[in-house]
Structure 1
Amino acid sequence: MNMTAGTNLNRGRSERNSRAKRRILRFMLLAAVCLLGFCTLRWVLFDRAAIAEQQGIIIAGWKSAVRQSAVTPDKFTPVEEDARPTGKIVYLTFDDGPTEWTGKFLDVLEQHGVKATFFMQGSQLKRENLQRFVKRAVQEGHYVGGHSMSHQYKKLYEEGEFVSEMKENLALIHDITGENPHLVRPPYGSAPGLNNKQIRDQIAKEGIKIWDWTIDSNDWKLKDHPEQIVENIKKATKVDLEVVLMHEKPQTLQVLPEIIEFFQKKGYRFGVYNDSGHFHLNFQKDHRL
């Protein structure tokens, strides 16, 4: 074999080796691309689904925890503002009944098509000659709530008899009317009488509800000046929801038609308390009551 032939042979072998190496490299590159594609596809189809599922589990657990927290007392409990009626509404309320005037108050309210809320006192409820007015009030669509048995500040607040007296008071109303009211008005208002949280805890535990007022007519001390009762109410009327404190007094009865007319001209409608639609209205701002 001459030198030229040997050289050509070596060159041929070298080219074949080079082509083989290139084929191997192309094969390895293709295999790497395929493997990368497979891994990517698996992540898209499986791993992301698993992650999403895991995220869903986490979110569901978080929502469950929030729901459980929402019913835990004093945690995430919304203020019951949604229960408040909308629009201009006034609640006429009368304390210290029943009295010999109760029937006449009911007459005036009936004449004007107005319902009211009465807070009646246990010592008066025991008077059998007045119980017919209590029954009539309920029959005509008014609400009768409690106002204690004794109306004595010391017994109710200093000696801690508030809850026991209100329970007895409400039981009397049930015996007379067959109703089961839960609303009471604290004599002299819930402040400062119910500053003691222990008493408020007892009230909440018993399911008793408290209403104070937004307007104090001071009618009880205006025997000779009934016109001033109306002026007091007019001056104090400022917001869409008003609760007017009055008493079963002859001077109040005298100007009751004028009071009703005033609110009608102001565009108010007249509300009557309903246990199922309770909203908090107490000077202590205790949303449990």
Structure 2
Amino acid sequence: MLNHTTSYPPKRPQRRRGNKTTGYQLPRGRARARHRPGSSYVHHSQGFGSDTRRRAMRVRRGGGSGGRGSKRRNARWPYVLVIVGCAGLVFLASLIGYLNRSVTIELNGSDASVHIGATIAQVIEDEGFEESCNPGNLLAVDDSIITRGGGERYTVTLDGKDVDADDYDSVKLEGGEKLEIHDGGDVYEEHDVKATEIAPAITVKGSGAIGYVSQWGVPGRSEVWTGKLSGITADRGVVQEVQNCEVTYRSASPDDEDTRYIALTFDEGPSDYTQQILDILEEKGVSATFFLQGDAVEADPASAKAIAEAGHEIGSNGYSDTNYSDLTSDEVRSQITRGFDAIEDATGERVSLLRAPYASFSTENWAQCMDLLSGVVSWNLDSGDWLLPGADEVVETVVGSAGNGNIVLLTDNDTTGAQLVEALPDIIDQLKAEGYTFVTLSDLIATDEDFADVDLASVSMPEDAVLPNLPADDDAEGEE
């Protein structure tokens, strides 16, 4: 058994003056110096419930830094590092496996497995197409063979589109593609080309009040080749077929059998009576279409703008009251464009719908100007107001002849204006009583599904289309 002695510090330590080197010291410092070797001492911190002293005891027993417990924890670190390293290797292996996974494509009609990101060139090599596919030939311009096997090495399509040989190494497969690889195709020697354009012709068909381009003309092409290797010259004939132009005339036939539609149209305005006409239409809740004459618009732009602001549809009646059959091609184009320009200047709207003066618009006019037009409209119910028969007769003519889908011709000029203002309210009231709904021309064609592809608000000429040629002896006019 150990020999214990007790050592208690004084209750109130006294500072004692030391030498000049050590300064002041507490008595306990000297007591420690006098402890006998081999003896154990019970200090005040032992067994008296102090948490701080208990922690100090744990440190002495190996629970603190530098003790046996610290060494055990340090001994675990290599295992932790091994586990972390293994987890990293597993993740890296998974990532590499994901990036190099296989995907399925359709190759020549059958499913095939390829590495994701594989190029077409790799598929050609892996699937043995280098041996199984035969290259095409190099041909002279007359189709004779210059070099067997000198053509394309392979014919490759991806999702139905041809792939150029220069792209075999860059196009990558991600899965789900449809790839076709077959024998190569023949190619022609380098050659000079002398091309001749084949202009489209024009055909006007049908009858009715609304004319429009149902098929635009696209030029064809014939070529003569001269080979740079063979020196042979060959007429290759038509290499691109011509698409002829077609103009169709029809009248609207509303699909809704329970509702009757009619369109009021006013020519030659604006006039001194235009505002009164607008007031009547507003009062009756009716929309209409105005074909404005360019020189009249320039004389009275405020009335033209009032028509637009009232929400009515606007077309052009040309620039002046001139029969187009008496004009040259350039003059007809000028009449049309000047009329459109005048309307745009007055209203801010660019229109492309035309009613030619006297409804005279020939096949030749179509060939000259179809690139300017969305449609050419005449009428199928002439009110006869331009004959000045009197308001009552105008009313009787319109109401007595009206039919579903009709386009009614009325005249807005200074000569007929007073008669029209008198007749218009009765026309509207009596047609409403008979069940008619008043619409603009665009709204009228919208009731007929046969006009589904027709837009009277804009020109729809494709970029590759051209104006057609007209035989010199063809003076036929489109039927109205």
Q: For the superposition of Structure 1 and Structure 2, which TM-score range results when normalised by the shorter chain?
A: 0.5 to 0.7
Residue pair 2:353, 2:373 contacting (<8 A) in 1 also: no
Runs of 5+ in structure 2 lacking a partner?
1-108, 111-159, 161-213, 218-242, 457-476
Equivalent runs, 1:203-218 vs 2, <5 Å: 203-218=369-384
Partner of 2:400: 235
The one-letter amino acid of 2:281's match is L
2:251 and 2:321 mapped to 1: Cα distance?
33
Aligned-partner residue type, residue 103 of structure 1: Q
* 1:86 aligned partner, one-letter code: D
Q: Does residue 1:151 correspond to 2:321, yes or no? A: yes
The amino acid that maps onto 1:89 is Y
Question: Pairwise mapping of residues 72-83 of structure 1 onto structure 2 (< 5 A)?
Answer: 73=217
Pair 1:119 & 2:291 matched: yes
CA distance in structure 2 between the aligned counterparts of 1:215 and 1:95, rounded to whole angstroms? 13
Q: Is the 8 A contact 2:215 2:247 kept in 1?
A: no
Alignment of 1:156-175 (within 5 A): 156-160=324-328, 161-175=331-345
Instruction: Describe the superposition over 1:10-65 as per-residue Cα deviations: whole angstroms up to 9, x where unpaired.
Output: xxxxxxxxxxxxxxxxxxxxxxxxxxxxxxxxxxxxxxx99xxxxxxxxx9xxxxx
Does 1 or 2 have the higher relative contact order (CA < 8 Å, sep 6+)? 1
Distance 2:376 2:292 in 1: 14
Q: How many residues align?
A: 209
1:250–1:72: structure 2 CA closer, same or farther, 3 Å change rule? Answer: closer
Q: Which residue of 1 aligns with 2:352?
A: 182
**Cα separation, partners in 2 of 1:274 and 1:226, compared to 1, 3 Å:** same
CA shift, 1:257, in A, is 0.7
How far off is 1:133 after superposition? 1.4
Offset, 1:72: 7.2
- Which AA in structure 2 matches 1:120? L
SS at match of 1:91: strand
Percent identity reads 28
Alpha-carbon distance change, 189 to 80 in structure 1, aligned in 2, over 3 angstroms: closer
Higher strand share: 2
> In the aligned structure 2, how far is the partner of 1:71 from the partner of 1:150?
30
- Largest Rg, 1 or 2: 2
Question: 2:307 is matched by which residue type in structure 1?
Answer: A
User: What displacement does 1:214 show?
Assistant: 0.8
Select which of 74, 92, 102 maps to 2:264. Answer: 92
Instruction: Indicate the residue corresponding to 2:427 in structure 1.
Output: 259
CA contact (8 A) 2:379 2:407 kept: yes
Secondary structure in structure 2 of the residue aligned to 1:90: strand
Q: For the Cα contact (< 8 Å) 1:222–1:228, is it kept in 2?
A: no
Name the SS for the 2:280 alignment partner: helix
Residue 269 of structure 2 contacts residue 290 of structure 2 at CA under 8 Å; is this kept in 1?
Answer: yes
Distance across 1 between alignment mates of 2:337 and 2:392: 37
Return 5+ residue gaps in structure 1 as ranges: 1-48, 51-59, 61-69
* Change in 2 beyond 3 A, CA 1:176/1:71: closer
Structure 1 residue 176, shift from structure 2 partner:
1.1
Mark the CA change 1:198 to 1:72 in structure 2 (over 3 Å): closer, same or farther. Answer: closer
- Give TM-score, length-normalised by structure 1: 0.63
Deviation at residue 134 of structure 1 after TM alignment = 1.0
Give CA deviations for 1:233-265 in whole Å, capped at 9, x if unaligned.
Answer: 12322x310100001121011010110012111
The 2-side partners of 1:78 and 1:170 are apart by 22
Counting only pairs closer than 5 Å after superposition, residues 1-289 of structure 1 correspond to structure 2 as 73=217, 85-87=254-256, 88-127=260-299, 130-153=300-323, 156-160=324-328, 161-190=331-360, 194-195=361-362, 197-222=363-388, 225-237=390-402, 239-248=403-412, 249-274=417-442, 284-285=478-479
Asked if structure 2 preserves the Cα contact closer than 8 Å seen for 1:217 and 1:244, the reply is: yes
- 1:274 Cα shift? 3.2
